Amino acid sequence: MADYSERVLEQTQWALQRPIDGQVRFSDVYSETTELTDPYWWRRTDFDARLTDEVESSGFPKSEQIPIGHRRWLVSYGLVLVDDLVRSRNARVEDIEDNENVHPDIRREIDSRAKAVVALANYAPRDDNSTMGDTNGLDFHLAITDSGLEAYTTPLEFLSGLESRHRITALYQIPNRDHPEFNGDHEQFRSARVIRTRWHPKHLVPVFEYTNRKEVIEAKQNGNHPDVIPTDPRMGRIAYIDKFGNVRLEVRNRRQITEQKPGKQVTLVVTSGTQEHEYGVHISEDLRSSPLGKLAVYANCSDHIDEGTETGYVELAVRVNGNPSQANNTGIDQLLEHLPELDPETAEVRLTV
């Protein structure tokens, strides 16, 4: 076994020594909660709300399992979400950690920052592309973000959302061969034990390492950053759809849109396959102030703003009367009205002023 421990950043070795506080696991091995052909699948797969509710109310779960076999395109958003939740926890702790007179629950949250949050993102078919060169599926990689999240992923494209926000400060390849925790040449179920790699830093092969996010941005600006993580070339995409039919758009010009005055109308262009349609969209401050029954776009006040990039999320939603769970005029419904063959995975979106 090759020993890379001397080449692994010292702060990475420290990070991997932390006990695990919780895990969020996106994987194709879990049973799906909805069928691939279900036209309203988003009403039954709202992991965003479920995970946020659990973490913000009682902390990170011991092991949250999220199936992604049918819709792996949601994983990039999912990893950014997990990182956002870690960042929120860290920010709360920084505000209160010097206060000695705190509630015991808050003290436990302060203590939890010294522990690791781990994410798994696993989609590992054994097709011709993934076994090229007699390999047993693509190697996993470990990404460590500036918040301290450890993300174990295959394929690398799952890290695109974190990479476009300059959050990944260290990336390591985890070779299949000679892996100390599983038979890398033949093991079918590697994902069950791949996070145990954190016990074996000598097995990690550094791809890039920085001590902070500022160094990441400078390296990218100087052209010295290795572009090994695929990032999305589209001007914008559908990142997520929640159970109420609200759509999270990931766009490259977030600030240009969110700095517009409420009430202004902008244009949303959606291209899916050979189809394209333009929608008039109202700029709003939030869902409450959005015009009833009309498409509105606004910045979510809970989102983290990443310096050094214009990439970010905006909400595309429709305020409805009555129970939104039963509404048929939601954001995604209005998109589908004009583009019935809309493919959320491949569609490109553009918001223009």
- The model's pLDDT over 273-298, given as tens digits with 9 standing for 90+, comes to 999 999 999 999 999 999 999 999 99
Range from 3-7, 42-46, 178-182, 204-208 carrying the lowest mean pLDDT: 3-7
Residue % of the chain over a pLDDT of 70: 92
Cβ pair 74, 80 in contact under 8 A: no
Distance from first CA to last CA of the chain, Å, rounded? 56
Spatial distance between the Cα atoms of 84 and 88, rounded to a whole number of angstroms: 6
Q: Would you list the domain boundaries of the chain?
A: 5-222, 236-352
CATH number given to 236-352: 2.40.30.90
Least confident of 95-109, 133-147, 252-266: 95-109
Lowest-confidence range among 41-50, 177-186, 206-215?
A: 177-186
**Continuous H helices in 115-179:** 160-164
Q: What is the CA radius of gyration of the chain?
A: 21
Contacts of 210 (CB under 8 A, 6+ apart): 169, 170, 216, 219
Phi, psi angles (nearest 5°) of residue 319 = -80, 130
Quote the pLDDT of residue 133. 62
Higher pLDDT, residue 46 or 107: 46
Average pLDDT score over residue span 12-26: 94
The band of 125, judged by pLDDT with boundaries at 50, 70 and 90, is low
State pTM to two decimals.
0.93
- Answer yes or no: is pLDDT of 197 > 70: yes
